[in-house]
């Protein structure tokens, strides 16, 4: 299996990418708050083994992608969506299966709406249909107690690799994710951050740039326009975006399928990777509706 880490230039910016597989059926993975590494290695490898050319990439201002001023981003959510479409075109010009996780799932929704010809399928993992900040009255908001613990947790010295890894592990524990896995991913992010890992770059890797990003106009009301096969994946124990957000997306996108991971929170745990990859690989081949959660061994 071919495995390549490189950069791609699209419409005037550079995107850091990592590709898996030799097939010409592209599957583009939009990053969440922790760069491209928010998509587990094992998931990428299994999707590639299933006959896809998997490409995960860093959003602007993170990882190996173009970085200018993350504290004052000069682009919008719609620009990030355009990046995804441009990358899909650069991979060969055929429509790609687009997947987004966390805040990347918001970008993916807008990309599917603004660039419908660029994508053949859509997977949305652990996300919601409104911009960061106050939510709609009918959607469950962040769990207040969890957010209180998460955002009062003291920031680390971002130039200290071990301190950053400890911080990520503690945050994962608060959210209900695997702290060991989070620690390992944070250390890898630190290692691949250019320069001396200044605070603003590492903080952006945790998704903080989205609090400064222009996410207008709203897109939730446009979700019925999405015509491609869509899979919505969500952890039952997700306290950052409670599962009602996923249920709403699945209702509002015609024919969308909902896969609820009963023992997952915000990240895709190792135990759920087979279920998620299986659902992604067969997207478009099943009857629309609810996909049962995997049974734990």
Confidence band, pLDDT 50/70/90 cuts, at residue 190: confident
The CA dihedral of 56, 59, 61, 63, to the nearest 10 degrees, is -10
Res 130: pLDDT = 97
Q: Is residue 288 pLDDT above 90, yes or no?
A: no
**pLDDT score at 297:** 37
Highest mean pLDDT among 157-166, 195-204, 243-252, 283-292: 243-252
Helices (H) and strands (E) in the chain, counts: 9, 9
C-beta of residue 193 within 8 angstroms of C-beta of residue 63:
yes
Whole-number pLDDT of residue 192: 81
Q: Given CA atoms 144, 146, 149, 153 in this order, what sign does their dihedral have?
A: negative
pTM: 0.92
Q: What CA–CA distance (Å, rounded) separates 56 from 65?
A: 12
Q: What is the pLDDT of residues 11-62, one digit of tens each?
A: 999 999 999 998 888 999 999 877 899 999 999 999 999 999 999 999 998 8
The label of the residue with tokens 């583009």 reads 28
Q: Quick check: bond before 217 cis, omega within 30?
A: yes
Place of tokens 């680390």: 156
Residue 1: the pLDDT is 74
DSSP state of 285: S
Residues 146-186: pLDDT tens digits? 999 998 988 888 888 899 899 999 999 999 999 999 999 99
Q: What is the DSSP string of 19-73?
A: EE-S-S-EEEEE-BTTBGGGS-HHHHHHHHHTT-EEEEEPPTTSTTS--S-TTS-
Mean pLDDT over each residue of the chain, to the nearest integer: 89
User: Is 167:258 a contact under the CB 8 Å cutoff?
Assistant: no
What band does 194 get if pLDDT is binned at 50, 70 and 90? Answer: low
Radius of gyration of the chain (CA): 18
pLDDT at 71: 73
Q: Which of 59, 44, 36 is nearest to 2 (CA)?
A: 44
Asked whether the predicted pLDDT for residue 294 surpasses 80, the reply is no
Residue 68: the pLDDT is 82
Average pLDDT over residues 127-141: 94
* pLDDT the model gives residue 221: 98
Q: Is residue 295 very low, low, confident or very high in pLDDT (cuts 50, 70, 90)?
A: very low
16: DSSP letter: E
Domains of the chain by range and CATH? Answer: 3-133+196-291 (3.40.50.1820)
Mean pLDDT of the 205-232 span? 87
> Distance (Å, rounded) from C-alpha 57 to C-alpha 71?
21
> Is residue 202's pLDDT more than 80?
no
Query: Do the Cβ atoms of 220 and 251 come closer than 8 Å?
Result: no
pLDDT of 122 > 80? The answer is yes
- Residue 296 confidence (pLDDT) above 50: no
Cβ pair 209, 79 in contact under 8 A? no
The reported pLDDT for the residue numbered 218 is 96
The pLDDT value recorded for residue 200 is: 47
Confidence tier at 209 by pLDDT (50, 70, 90): low
**pLDDT band with cut points at 50, 70 and 90 for residue 191:** confident
Tokens of 230: 């869509």
């Amino acid at each position: 299996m071919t495995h390549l880490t490189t950069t791609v230039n699209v419409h005037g910016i550079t995107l850091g990418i990592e590709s898996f597989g030799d097939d010409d059926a592209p599957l583009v993975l939009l990053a969440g708050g922790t760069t491209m590494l928010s998509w587990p290695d094992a998931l990428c490898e299994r999707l590639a083994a299933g006959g896809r050319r998997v490409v995960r990439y860093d959003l602007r201002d993170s990882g190996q992608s173009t970085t200018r001023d993350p504290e004052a981003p000069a682009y919008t959510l719609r620009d990030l969506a355009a990046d995804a479409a441009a990358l899909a075109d650069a991979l060969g010009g055929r429509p790609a299966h687009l997947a987004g996780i966390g805040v990347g799932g918001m970008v993916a929704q807008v990309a599917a709406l603004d660039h419908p010809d660029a994508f053949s399928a859509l997977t949305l993992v652990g996300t919601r249909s409104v911009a960061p900040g106050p939510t709609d009255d009918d959607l469950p908001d962040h769990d207040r107690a969890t957010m209180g613990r998460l955002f009062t947790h003291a920031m680390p010295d971002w130039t200290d690799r071990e301190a950053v890894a400890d911080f990520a592990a503690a945050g994962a524990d608060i959210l209900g994710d695997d702290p060991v896995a989070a620690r390992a991913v944070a250390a890898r992010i630190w290692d691949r951050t250019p320069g001396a890992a200044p605070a603003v770059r590492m903080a952006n890797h945790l998704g903080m740039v989205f609090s400064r990003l222009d996410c207008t106009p709203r897109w939730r009301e446009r979700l019925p326009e999405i015509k491609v096969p869509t899979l919505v994946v969500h952890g039952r124990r997700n306290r950052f975006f409670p599962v009602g957000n996923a249920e709403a997306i699945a209702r509002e996108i015609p024919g969308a399928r909902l896969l609820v991971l009963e023992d997952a929170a915000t990240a895709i745990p190792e135990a759920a990777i087979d279920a998620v990859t299986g659902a992604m690989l067969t997207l478009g081949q099943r009857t629309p509706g609810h996909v049962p959660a995997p049974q734990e061994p």
